[in-house]
Amino acid sequence: MDPAPLTLMSDDKPVHLRNMVAADLAAALSLSEHLRWPYRASDWETLFALGEGRIAQLGDTIAGIGLRWLWEPRGASVGLVSVAPASRGRGIGRRLMETLTAGAGNGPMLLHAPTDSEAFCRRLGFTLGGYVHPYEGKAIQAPLMALPRGCRLRPAGHKDLPRIAAMDHAASGAGRRRLIEAWLAHAMGAVVLDHADGPLGFAILRRFGRGAMIGPVVAPGAGPAKAMIAHLAGLAGGRFLRIDAVADPEIEAWLRDLGLVHAGGMRAMKKGAFAPASPDFTTFALADLATG
């Protein structure tokens, strides 16, 4: 992004927009904690290392922040856009979104926004997509789940990166190998749904927020998705667990049966069109709400 600071005049006070640097991570964490977001310092570090951000600064105070991630061969995600409560109503959120979206070229773009931000995002050219429902809590031990005929679950490792990244690309339409590589590097556990004709899905469990998170979960259907989630939930060992589930009645009812609680909702917003997703691979849980 353009390294030259931009200036927005608001209420006769200058608000400077500049590139985010690593030294801003402590302020980003403080803001997210104030907003009751679940991100730890290490979560911010990982997400910032994968992307780039913009800071809205009012004097010596960071008034707002936003990140974006550029995928290959084209496309981007925008997330973690927030304005400090004391600085709202000055147009800072709009300017952050404009600068985050302006430098990403003409490729497609994805963000997940609270439902009360839908009108704002539509004015920026985004269209409405589906819902994402976070679930969290301490999961109970799930019963064994039947797998499709000829399938088995096996542990996944770094050697599986090319196949897992290819399945994620097929399901999401975005080339996110860097993201999958980072998630595998931080994994507490990961599984591949194997078949003689080739892998059919995967799921990753990693440390996140107050405990752990499962995602992405990519599978050919809800049944295999539940089997992978059940296996990884067992590995979480009683930790606080979060899953950002793509809205699906069967999956959501089952997550509630596991003892997880519906924790709000977000709306997928898209600008442009990603490559068509393969009908063979469906995303049942996101990597997280920020990156999609």
159 vs 178: CA distance, rounded Å:
14
Whole-model pTM: value is 0.92
| Tens digits of residue pLDDT in 18-37 | 999 999 999 999 999 988 88
Phi-psi map region of 85: left, alpha, beta (phi>0 left; psi -120 to 50 alpha): alpha
DSSP notation for 190-218: EEEEEETT---EEEEEEEETTEEEEEEEE
User: Rounded to whole angstroms, how far apart are CA atoms 276 and 278?
Assistant: 6
Cα–Cα distance, 27 to 117 (Å, whole number) = 24
**3-state class of 261 per DSSP?**
strand
First to last CA, the chain: 21
- Taking only the tens place, the pLDDT of each residue in 143-183 is 888 898 999 999 999 999 999 999 999 999 999 999 999 99
Residues 69, 180 contacting (CB under 8 angstroms): no
Which of 16, 22, 19, 14 has the alpha carbon at shortest distance from 2? 19
Per-residue pLDDT at 10 = 44
Q: Is 77 helix (H, G, I), strand (E, B) or coil?
A: strand
* Percentage above 70 pLDDT, the chain: 95
Cβ-based neighbours of 52, under 8 Å, separated by 6 or more? 1, 19, 20, 67, 68, 70
The predicted pLDDT at position 111 comes to 94
In terms of Cβ atoms closer than 10 Å to its own Cβ (0-12, 13-18, 19+), residue 284 is buried
Task: Name all domains of the chain by residue range, CATH numbers in brackets.
Answer: 6-107 (3.40.630.30), 134-285 (3.40.630.90)
Q: What does the pLDDT read at residue 159?
A: 94
